[in-house]
Homo-oligomer: A and B are copies of this chain.
Amino acid sequence: MTALDITSEDATLETAPTRYIEGRGIRFAYRRLGPSTGTPLVLLQHFSGNIDAWDPAVVNVLAADRPVIAFDNAGVGRSTGQTPDNVAAMARDAVAFINALGISEVDLLGFSLGGCVAQQIAAEHGRLVRKLILVGTSPKGGEEHLLAVLQEAFSQTDAPDPRLPLFFTTSSASRSSGLAFLKRTQVRKDDRDTDNGSAVTDPQAKALITWCATPDPEHAMLRAIRQPTLVVSGSHDTMLPANNAYAMFKELSNAQLVLYPDSGHGALFQHHEIFVSHVRTFLHA
């Protein structure tokens, strides 16, 4: 429990030092916020994202009453190792990270590709995972439009950041909350995480596309998940549509579904206040 003994109650995502820990031969970069006791909430990041791609408005508020851990999985950001091209290996690496921290039980919040990894971990490690939060993600064999949407987003050369068209809708409300989100992610200046190149995004894209292209007609993966699960999506997620969330809700044995209006893949950042309230209610219940 060495790592958890470091109290970091006053730290925020913007101010917490980046720490490092070794597991399975990988040196994992991570930040830890919130109290030193309680079930830690481990965040599993989206395609191409690093630690600084999380929204402080979500992470800091969740850390007000529980430990929250953001990390770079193998090969991502400032973690060493190779980024695997499949979800199962990403889950194996994430578990190695959690084991290295000496934590015996976690809650998981997986966003997008991170949600696939979270499903895999929850299905395989029933005792390690207490509760599961799946945001903007897909079941195995689900619907994805990753490449088409990425291509469209990167063709918008006037966008200040590809996440604006990727994560938010074209409504002025969604766009303006998108700009506010981007601003929040840029507050930290020192000790920022490293941006990811194609050595990360190529295998990650392959992992996500393969996950969705692998049929699971009997929903074996979802049915292996016994943990209470909160499934969240935006109404107009163009990459991994809300239909995925509804389908997961129907097949999971103990799931709550929350869908937000006028929102895309980044619904959790757009509706951060309501999202945090829903997560706290779910984790507390």
Contact = CB atoms under 8 A, between A and B. Distances in A.
Interface in A221-271: 228, 235, 246, 249-250, 252-262
Contacts of A258: 256-258
A277 B282 CA distance: 10
Contacts of A252: 261
Chain A, interface SS category: mixed
Given A274-B281, A285-B273, A256 B261 contact: yes
Contact of A262 (B254, B257, B281): B254
A259 B260 contact: no
A259 to B, nearest CB: 4
B261 A254 contact: yes
A228 B282 CA distance: 22
A259 B257 contact: yes
A24 interface: no
Contacts of A281: 274, 277-278, 281
A254 B256 CA distance: 20
Given A259-B256, A259-B257, A261-B256, A250 B274 contact: no
Most chain B CB within 10 A, of A260, A262, A281, is at A281
Interface of A: 228, 235, 246, 249-250, 252-262, 273-274, 277-278, 281-282, 285
5 closest residue pairs by CB, A with B: A257-B259, A277-B281, A254-B261, A258-B258, A255-B261
Given A235-B249, A252-B261, A278-B278, 5 more contacts: A253-B261, A256-B259, A257-B257, A258-B258, A281-B281
